Amino acid sequence: MLGAVTAAGCTLVNSFGELKQSPADTGPGGTDAKVDSTGTDSNVDTGVDTNVPPTDTNDAEVFVPRVDNGLIVIEGEVSETAGKAQVLSVLDPLDGSELAREHMVVSAIAYDGLNDLWFIFENTTSGFNPLPGDVIKLHVRQWDVPHGKWLPDLSTATVPTPATSSVVVLHDELAYVAYRNATFTDFSLALVDTLDAGPAKKTPPTPLSKLYDLSALPLSMAGVPKSTSGSGGDLTFLFRQATAACTGTGDSACNLLSLHAAVPVGYADPVFDATPKVVGTISKDSGVTARAGTGIGVSVNSVMVTIPRTDVDSNGTVIPLNPRTSVIDTPPATFKFPMTTVTSKALNPPAISDCHDGVLFIPELLSSRVFVVPVKAPLKTLEHNLTNAAQAVAWEPYTETLIAPFASGSFEIAAWSFTIDVAFAPTMTKRKGATWHPPTDLSPNLVRTKISISSPPPCK
């Protein structure tokens, strides 16, 4: 059995300095525009010359504020005259057009749907995939919806190096698995306090980072905020039983273990369960993934664990775990979905739609296949071909679109609209032409979408 976690001896890593403004590029082409709080050129004389005749109002440009149509934020690679470059790009979900681009190597992106904050993990040392010891700068940002651009950074700070691109957003805290030291074998749970990172806070942003040792690298980690008012939240870790302890055979050789950790209010130390719980069985090398809904006032409020088919069962399995306890949740009960045709018999993390009582989009690893699985009947399942093998999928709720980035030699930022007919059969249609035209020079590595908790878009 795995030793669970060493929570004692947490290490204070760093703190944010004074509030800093970033000279980040504000749009495609990377132009740097310095503006004051009114949105005008700060070098322009604001006095009024009464001798100047009035201008023709017909020639004046009328500002039309943009509306909130969601947001797609991408880390990717482009080819420039000087060679390959990493960029952070922002796309409009309505048509895929690029709203902003800046040069930055990014290892992780997260969105806080309660406080409308974006967290950009810039790798200042190496590449998109971080290495132990890489220096990571966390940018805390907001998107200016009316003007369609990033506002100046609310704060920046050096934080522990993430071991994966997965970051769980709790209430006023971030959680992720970090490298503990300069090796690939030691890992910690990193907690980042973001309580004072928002624009409405009266004190300068001063998030802190703490590390708590983990006994092994989790197969997956998911979590939900505590509530809409109290900081903290709940985390679920998935581990495979130690290989030496596996007594079964084939696809059921090892126990799948879940471990719960409660992150208390007030940036206190997390409280880990004493013993992991057995929630299923998997093979010695099977890939298991998990993803949580937002957990607050939505249809999908479970941690959805997805397990691929076995040699004796052609169905994949979805195991809902209670996000507050990490035990099997009823309802909904564990359910199956057909995986009759497979390539790798392994799965990537699902994307989740909270509409239609909850829908999971489960991509197969190294395959163009995605399994569309409803949480509740009578919606039917669907096995769909995405044309290319997406390295991940992301749900875009404002347009009800599945974003499926692909990069392997050629590249594509594909978008598939999702609809349901009168017979409760799901349909996926590829968006293209006038309805979808993302930048053709951007090879995507990492994609995140805006999932709002405080003001989610209505389901269609």
In tens, the pLDDT along 184-222 reads 999 999 999 988 776 666 555 566 789 999 988 998 899
* Order of all β-strands in the sheet with 394-396: 394-396, 401-408, 410-420, 426-430
Contact call for residues 114 and 145 (beta carbons, < 8 A): no
Through-space distance between the first and last CA atoms of the chain, rounded to whole angstroms:
46
Average pLDDT over residues 14-29: 37
- 96 is a domain residue: no
- Distance from C-alpha of 21 to C-alpha of 9, rounded to nearest angstrom: 34
**Do 245 and 191 fall into the same domain?**
no
CA–CA dist 6, 9 (Å, integer): 8
Residues 350 and 340 in one domain: no
Dihedral-angle region of residue 115 (phi above 0 means left; psi in -120 to 50 means alpha; beta otherwise):
alpha
Does some domain include residue 78? no
By residue range, what is the domain housing residue 145? 1-24+104-217
Angle formed at CA 409 by CA 406 and CA 415, multiple of 5 degrees = 20
* pLDDT for position 406: 95
Distance CA 278, CA 187 (A): 22
Coil/strand/helix, residue 252: helix
pLDDT in the model for residue 247? 74
Half-sphere exposure of 329 (CA within 13 A, CB side): 21
Per the domain annotation, does 316 fall within a domain?
yes
Q: Are 7 and 270 in contact (CB under 8 A)?
A: yes
55-66 pLDDT, tens per residue?
A: 555 556 798 999
pLDDT of amino acid 58? 57
Q: In terms of domains, do 10 and 155 share one?
A: yes
178 in the same domain as 249:
no
Residue 457 included in any domain? no
Q: Which of these, 193, 278, 264, lies nearest to 235 by C-alpha position?
A: 264
Instruction: Note the pTM of the prediction, 2 decimals.
Output: 0.83
Q: Of 204 and 242, which is predicted with more confidence?
A: 242
Note the pLDDT of residue 28: 36
> Of the residues 315, 344, 373, which one is the last residue of a structural domain?
344
36 within domain boundaries: no
Residues 339 and 351 in one domain: no
Residue 90 lies in a domain: no
pLDDT, greater one: 8 or 344: 344
Same domain, yes or no, for 244 and 363?
no
Task: Report which DSSP code applies to 175.
Answer: E
* Centroid of chain to Cα 98: 19
User: Can you tell me the distance from the alpha carbon of 449 to that of 444, in angstroms, rounded to the nearest whole number?
Assistant: 14
CA gyration radius, the chain: 23
Asked if residue 382 and residue 276 are part of one domain, the reply reads no
What number is the average pLDDT over the span 311-318?
83
Let me know whether 138 and 6 are in one domain.
yes
Last residue of a domain, one of 157, 189, 217: 217
DSSP state letter for 380: P
Beta-bridged to residue 168, according to DSSP, are 175
| Non-local CB neighbours of 390 within 8 Å, separated by 6+ positions | 348, 363, 368, 370, 404, 405, 406, 414
Render pLDDT for 365-422 as a digit per residue (tens, 0 to 9). 888 999 999 988 788 999 999 999 998 899 999 999 999 999 998 999 999 999 998 8
